[in-house]
Structure 1
Amino acid sequence: MTPITAFTTSHAKGDIPVDTRRDTALVTGASSGIGAAYAERLASLGWDTVLVARRAQRLDDLARRLREGTGTAVETLVADLSDPGDLAGVARRAAGDDIGFLLNNAGINGYGPFAGLEPELMTKILDVNVLAVTALTRAAVPAMLERGRGTLVNVASQLAFAGALPPGPLPERAVYGGTKGYVVTFTRTLAAELAGTPLRIQVLCPGLTATEFHRSRGDAPVPGREQAVHEDGGMPVDQVVDASLAALDTGEVVCVPGLEDPAPVDGLAEAELAIRTAARRGGS
């Protein structure tokens, strides 16, 4: 069975060797958190980068650090991936024949009771977390296949597996968890479809991570959650990147950083197989 989970306690640094023809990595949600840390790591390994996010000043600051620190080429694209025009522009860049690595990291959480979720915000969550991930993947994959190499990492969340558990300190998250469940299923299914090709495909499912993400809806503060900051309470972003790169090295499709026992996630694949077998027996 194709391995579906990566678990690491040592967080040994992985290595994604850059092609001698100067491959470029496109990173969405690059202005902070996992996106910024991943961009920094890839640049340190010799990758040129295209940084995509809404916050221009943060992109410019990161681009300057990468150019000065690594000597790599850095482009910035200021884009709101919930905007169709902006998404189309980023998709055109993702389809470039120099793109050897795509990190779909941009996301919006929109935590809160479903019955009170503003329709406009709900649509934006779906646009960024589902539509943009799918569209940018669709843009990048054909050129990667034609070139005979490429890496795709889609960022989901451990809430894709645990969204129905009691909220505890977190508010309700039906739409956010649902979008991340989509990312897991989409990426795993695509990886199975493209098995045997040179492409490396991964869905990265971090848990609580030391970023500003949980105090915001991407960029806008969540009402009532201004003090709910997790920069000091989660896994350091560098360790998330370490786990992802290590999993890419071993060809594992689903990476759950910090998971010490793969049995729970492996059990999901076994459950899927059992359900499919039962359905076939029932004539469905």
Structure 2
Amino acid sequence: MSRRPLALITGASSGIGAALAHTFADGGYDLVLLARRRDRLEQVAARAEGRGATVEIFIADLATPEGLDAAADRAARGDLRLLISNAGAGGYAPLRDVAAADLDRLWRLNATAPVTLTHAVLPSLLDKGEGGIVTVASLLAFSAGLATLNTVPMPPRTLYAAAKSATVAFTRTLATELTGTGVSATVVCPGRVATEWSGGANQGQPGVMSAEDVATATAVAVDRGETICVPGLPEITTLDQLQEVERALVIDGNRSELAQQYLPTAP
């Protein structure tokens, strides 16, 4: 029987998910690879097996209730050491243009699935006193107030940014909740990555990171027990500044007196 720890990776058939599979296989993990496309998963699995991993393929569509339930059952089996929730879809469009059926599907995949799978795997990790939860979000989680970036218009992303913001908040809060348990929680927030994502729009573009580098940063962050991993961020102090602004906002805004700018004006 293998003594290697076992990691479940969702969205593992291509892009960042495939790179994560290969990186964690190299890092000594056996794998459960989950996605919708069996043929693509089998290709990723074959390369991971060539790196010494034992691989289980699990076919499920996390955007459906049935697929998510099946994946949660697998996560709850008790044999995992690491859960990496990477599956996602862009659905970039103004909210008014998103079909009602797509609202539920996209939110389930991008926001609900990481929470559901974490809830399923967490009891066994806490019983072991070791292991990790990894969620893959996006730098767009921090983009809500931006109409442009370096004069370039930002894409329509209301639903996607909301889901990824939820994932960031969920994982960061969970990390605090897990302090002292031996179980870590890490959220990975890449920028633009050269994958098939969004029709491959980033492939061949300057200033775009490779999926392999995102996977490398993820593995390093997990080893270090980092809560927030931004693979392209050169100054880690930027995250410290973010936390200080959040602290000031929560403390300064939590007052009994109405702020001056909200006082009624005289008629």
Normalising by structure 2, we get a TM-score of: 0.89
| C-alpha displacement of 1:282 | 2.7
Q: Compared with structure 1, are the counterparts of its residues 262 and 65 closer, same or farther at alpha carbon in structure 2 (3 Å cutoff)?
A: closer
Alignment counterpart, residue 275 of structure 1, candidates 221, 236, 249: 249
1:245 aligned partner: 219
8 Å Cα contact 1:81/1:132 also seen in 2: yes
State the distance in 2 between where 1:213 and 1:278 align. Answer: 40
Runs of 4+ more than 4 Å apart: none
3-state SS of the aligned residue for 1:26? strand
8 Å Cα contact 1:110/1:122 also seen in 2: no
| C-alpha displacement of 1:280 | 4.1
What letter matches 2:224 in structure 1? T
* Structure 1, gaps ≥5 residues long: 1-19, 216-227
| C-alpha displacement of 1:281 | 3.8
What letter matches 1:246 in structure 2? V
State the distance in 2 between where 1:245 and 1:152 align. Answer: 12
1:205 aligns with 2:189: yes
What letter matches 2:221 in structure 1? A
Normalising by structure 1, we get a TM-score of: 0.84
8 Å Cα contact 1:153/1:201 also seen in 2: yes
Alignment counterpart, residue 57 of structure 2, candidates 64, 68, 76: 76
1:134 aligns with 2:118: no
1:230 aligns with 2:202: yes
3-state SS of the aligned residue for 1:99? coil
| Identity over aligned pairs, percent | 42
What letter matches 1:157 in structure 2? S
| C-alpha displacement of 1:109 | 0.6
Q: Deviations over 1:10-29 (max 9, x none)?
A: xxxxxxxxxx8332100000
3-state SS of the aligned residue for 1:271? helix
8 Å Cα contact 2:146/2:154 also seen in 1: no
3-state SS of the aligned residue for 1:75? strand
| Greater Rg by CA | 2
Larger CA deviation: 69-78 vs 106-115: 69-78
What letter matches 1:241 in structure 2? A
1:262 aligned partner: 236
Size of the aligned set, in residue pairs, is: 252
1:116 aligned partner: 97
Q: Compared with structure 1, are the counterparts of its residues 245 and 66 closer, same or farther at alpha carbon in structure 2 (3 Å cutoff)?
A: closer
8 Å Cα contact 1:103/1:152 also seen in 2: yes
